[in-house]
Each structure stands twice: as C-alpha cells, then as structure tokens.
Structure 1
Amino acid sequence: MRHLILVAPLLLASLSPAPALVGGAPAVQGPHAAVMIVGSRGNSCTGIAVARDLVLTAAHCVPAGAEYKLVEFDAQRQPRLRDTQGIARHPQFSQKTFDAHRATADVALIKVATSAMPAPIHGERLKIAPGDRLTLQGFGLTRAGDGKSGGTLRSATLTVTGKPGNLQIRLMDPATRNERPGLGACTGDSGAPVFRDIGGRMMVVGVVSWSTAAGNEAGCGGLTGVTPLSLYYPWILQAAKQLGSPLAP
C-alpha cells in the first residue's frame, strides 16, 4: 500500500518503523541544490533549486490554502527561513487521482530566493529500463515515525523496477529488492530530486511522489515512486517564465 510522504511528524505514530532513505544512506557533503520546504499545516517536503529564485517540487507538497517557506541551513546547521513569492502547480495535477494511488502531474514550482547552486533539469524523454540506477536526495525521516530523525540531506542510489514509463518510475534498494526494509524515500522526501548521470553530469530527471514499506505495505523502505519530468518539461519552462524566472530550454 502506498504511503503519501508529506505527512506531518505528529501524524506518524501509526506507521510501522522501517529504515528508509535512512537505512544507512549517507549525509550529503558540500554544496548542493536541495532545499527543505515547510508548510503552515505542519507538513515538510524536499525541493530542488533549478534557478537562483526557483524551486522544483511535487504538487501535492504545496496544496492551496496554506503558506510555505523555504528552509536553508548554514555551515553550522542553523536554519534560515525564506518567504515564498509565488507557487505554480501543474494544471493537470489531481489530488483525487493522487489519493487514489494513480499517476498524475505531480510537479510544482515555487518562486523563492535561494542561495543554493541551481541543478540542471533533463527535459528530454529518457529510455529508462529495469536495473537502471537513479540517485535521490531528500531531507526526510531516517526512521518512519520518528519526527526528530529528519532534517539532514541524505543521498541514496536505487534501481528501477517494474515497467517504467513517462508517467511513473518505481525504484527499490537493490540489496533488499522490496522484500525487506531497505533504502528508499520516507516522510519529508516528497518532491525530492531524482538524478541520473547523463554524459558525466548529474541531472534532475524526476521528483519523488510516494513510497511504500517492504512488500508494498504502508510506510517506508520498500518502493519509491517517482514522477518523471520529461512529459511536463514544456510546462515547467512556461511556468518558470510566468513566475518571472525563465529557464534556458
């Protein structure tokens, strides 16, 4: 059963414990483009700076009716809050479809000043096959149900499983293969960037949308669901321009 991974820490008591992006995933060292997003309703997500004042994340991370701030950490791990200036959600995103565990246009852009070095997006359609390796980075929990275990950017390289397409990619820990708890996205990793090495350059090819525990149960540490960006790249360019931060195609 799929787990929607933006749940506020206080709501996590019912989730079964399992290692996720957590199970041994190392902290990212040095400069990076990932940022944390927090909402006035208590949820937190991850995003990726794609321009100096533009962050890409998942649409389900920024529903209407709440306020959102960007969290950046200085060298001493002290948080700095930045106000958002605008949000664009893909018009074809459907919360109803998402809640029914079906693929939808789960992408959004946030207008917000950031000091992060922007990451490049790969907008062309990729040939993704089972066994391919993709890397994700997120600020989510390292132990499902433990709200204090998040807030550190971690990275994990996972492998593609199932039948990947332009609507959805599923990732798993190659060491555990969704048969027992392993590496994967967890609460707070929604919207996290997913990278692929393209010509020796790590480029963003998707954002995290959901996770499961091992055996497709509710939780973390099993499968990680990714929304690929290629189908929505034209919209990303258009929305960035409308937000006053045009991206080079």
Structure 2
Amino acid sequence: MTFRGPALALTAALCAAASPALAVVGGELSRDVDGPRSWTVRVETSRGELCSGAAIAPELVLTAAHCLMGGGSVSVVSLDPRFRDRRQAVIAVLPHPTFVPGTTPRTQPGADLALLRLAAPLPADIEPLSLGSGLWQGETVTMAGYGLAVENNKRTARKLRETQLVNAGNYTTANTVKVAVDTQAMGEAPGAGACRGDSGGPVLRGNGTSHDLVGIVSWSSGPLNSHVRRICGGFTAITPVNDYRSWISEASSQLLAMGRERRRGDPVPPRENSSWSWWFSR
C-alpha cells in the first residue's frame, strides 16, 4: 500500500484512532431516486445500534458483523422513492464464522461480515446489488451510508450520504482489509470518508452506477495530519466481498431455505455439527 508519509505514522494513526464506522463525513446528501437509495438500508437494533447495509437479494442484507454484537432485535429501514422510511423486521442474523466478538478493529482476526434475513422481501423499488470481483489499488469507489456527517454531532445521523474515494491498497493487522481515502486529501488531511453509522454500508466500483458491490465498510480512522484526535475523515477500512464470495453464496442459500414454512418468531435451531453462528430477533 502506497501513501505519502511515514509508514509508522500511518500504522499509529490507524491503530490508535480506529473506530467502527458508525455517516459519511465530507460526502453529499444522496437525493437520486435511482442512486444509493435503491440498495442502501439502515440497520438498527433495539439496543440503539445504528449501522448501514447493502441489499443483495429481496430478503437479504449484507452488513458488518460488529454492528450486531450488542444483541437485541434487529430491523432494517429502506427509503421509498420520496425518501420516506420503511421499516422491516429481521428474523435471522448470520455472522461470518471467523468473526470474533469483543475485539477491536486492530485485533479482529476474522471477517467483519454478517447476513440478515428479512421477515418479508424488500419493496420492489429496492434493487439488490451484485457481488463484484477484486478491488485493485488506485480504483475509484463509491461508498454510501447513514450516520454522522459531522463527527461529534449525533443529530447529523440517519441521512443517506455518499462520496467517492480511492482504494489505497491493503492494510493488514490480524486480518486484511482494503483502505480507501479521499481522492484529494489522500488520508493526510481531513477529507471524505466513513464515520459513526457507516459500518456495513456498500462500497461500489466506480461512480456507483455499476451495481457492482466490491466491499462493505468496516471501520474508520482519522487522517495522519490532524491537530485533534479524529476517528473519521481519514481512512475507510473495507472488507472486500470477493474474498468471501463462497461464504456469502452458501450462507445466502442457507438463510433463504430456512423459515419458509415457519411462523415469524418461532425459533429455528442450527443443524447438528453446524459451523454457522445463528441468532434470531426477539
């Protein structure tokens, strides 16, 4: 990964100030009815957690696993063509089997991914994304999410925003993620990027019109050169979906197969000797 600036300074900035990416700082309000509104949802829990998610099938949302570690019931909120909220219940959550709860972004050894099975299909105006191929250094990507537009102002959350970033390459600690930065600031000064509320949000190849999902936002960090400690607007860590394509496909099939004939709220135990991690909305 190539950055302007000392490698040790980069490592210190990412490790010391890394935070789950909970809205898009430096981005713009998304108002295109055929844009991110069509595939980006808000993920909320009954215990107050706010994240984002990507629709990948009418009944499936891909998001970040750490968003769901607090427990409680889960719901997703999509926007209608007039940008009004529509809430739907989640009946099953399936985190990636390597994800380890209770870890920090720096120490997480597994994949920060989880699939959500909805109680009913998303409305017809939501267009699920397709899983993209590998994400290469120097590529432009578009991320979208709900959350803080201003790092320390909670009132700026829950509005859909988007921004373009550039993939600066891999960042490896206990696991490996892609790191994207503002196309101008390049992670050295405050710029556009993920913030609190964006975790789980979709990252699309190019300008976002391709429907080519290449990553899911995991966490964010402040820029290298800042007079105050920041956790947003510097580096955006992305879990590349191409690395986990097989799991996403198999897990999607498992989630879609379960519960077809059960009543909502009835418990469904895991299969014997299952390697999956399951829990259900309460």
Instruction: Classify 1:159/1:194 alpha carbon distance in 2 versus 1 (closer, same or farther; 3 Å).
Output: same
Counterpart position of 1:117: 127
Counterpart position of 2:164: 157
- Name the CA distance, whole Å, in 2 between partners of 1:228 and 1:74: 28
Instruction: Classify 1:225/1:86 alpha carbon distance in 2 versus 1 (closer, same or farther; 3 Å).
Output: same
The answer on 1:21 being equivalent to 2:24 is: yes
Q: What CA deviation, in whole Å up to 9, does each residue of 1:26-75 have, x standing for no partner?
A: 42411311100111111111001111111111111122632111112334
Letter matched to residue 221 of structure 1 = G
Structure index of larger Rg: 2
- Name the CA distance, whole Å, in 2 between partners of 1:137 and 1:98: 23
1:101 Cα offset (Å): 4.1
Letter matched to residue 236 of structure 2 = T
- Name the CA distance, whole Å, in 1 between partners of 2:82 and 2:210: 29
Provide the secondary structure at the position in 1 that maps to 2:86.
strand
1:209 Cα offset (Å): 0.4
Counterpart position of 2:190: 181
Letter matched to residue 54 of structure 1 = L
- Name the CA distance, whole Å, in 2 between partners of 1:169 and 1:114: 29
1:76 Cα offset (Å): 4.3
Identity across the alignment (%): 34
Instruction: Classify 1:96/1:151 alpha carbon distance in 2 versus 1 (closer, same or farther; 3 Å).
Output: closer
Letter matched to residue 117 of structure 1 = E
- The answer as to whether partners of 1:55 and 1:110 remain within 8 angstroms in 2 is yes
TM-score by length of 2: 0.74
Counterpart position of 2:57: 51
TM-score by length of 1: 0.83
Instruction: Classify 1:127/1:72 alpha carbon distance in 2 versus 1 (closer, same or farther; 3 Å).
Output: closer
Counterpart position of 1:17: none
Letter matched to residue 20 of structure 2 = L
Q: CA RMSD in A?
A: 2.4
Instruction: Classify 1:236/1:186 alpha carbon distance in 2 versus 1 (closer, same or farther; 3 Å).
Output: same
Instruction: Classify 1:43/1:75 alpha carbon distance in 2 versus 1 (closer, same or farther; 3 Å).
Output: same
Q: How does 1:2-41 map to 2 (within 5 A)?
A: 2-6=18-22, 21-31=24-34, 32-41=38-47
Provide the secondary structure at the position in 2 that maps to 1:243.
helix
- The answer as to whether partners of 1:89 and 1:107 remain within 8 angstroms in 2 is yes
- Name the CA distance, whole Å, in 2 between partners of 1:214 and 1:142: 16
Provide the secondary structure at the position in 1 that maps to 2:33.
coil
- Name the CA distance, whole Å, in 2 between partners of 1:132 and 1:141: 25
The answer on 1:235 being equivalent to 2:244 is: no
- Name the CA distance, whole Å, in 2 between partners of 1:78 and 1:29: 13
Instruction: Classify 1:127/1:108 alpha carbon distance in 2 versus 1 (closer, same or farther; 3 Å).
Output: closer
Counterpart position of 2:48: 42
- The answer as to whether partners of 2:100 and 2:108 remain within 8 angstroms in 1 is no
Q: How does 1:136-215 map to 2 (within 5 A)?
A: 136-163=143-170, 167-197=176-206, 201-215=210-224
1:223 Cα offset (Å): 0.5
Instruction: Classify 1:232/1:138 alpha carbon distance in 2 versus 1 (closer, same or farther; 3 Å).
Output: same
Counterpart position of 1:63: 69
1:96 Cα offset (Å): 4.1
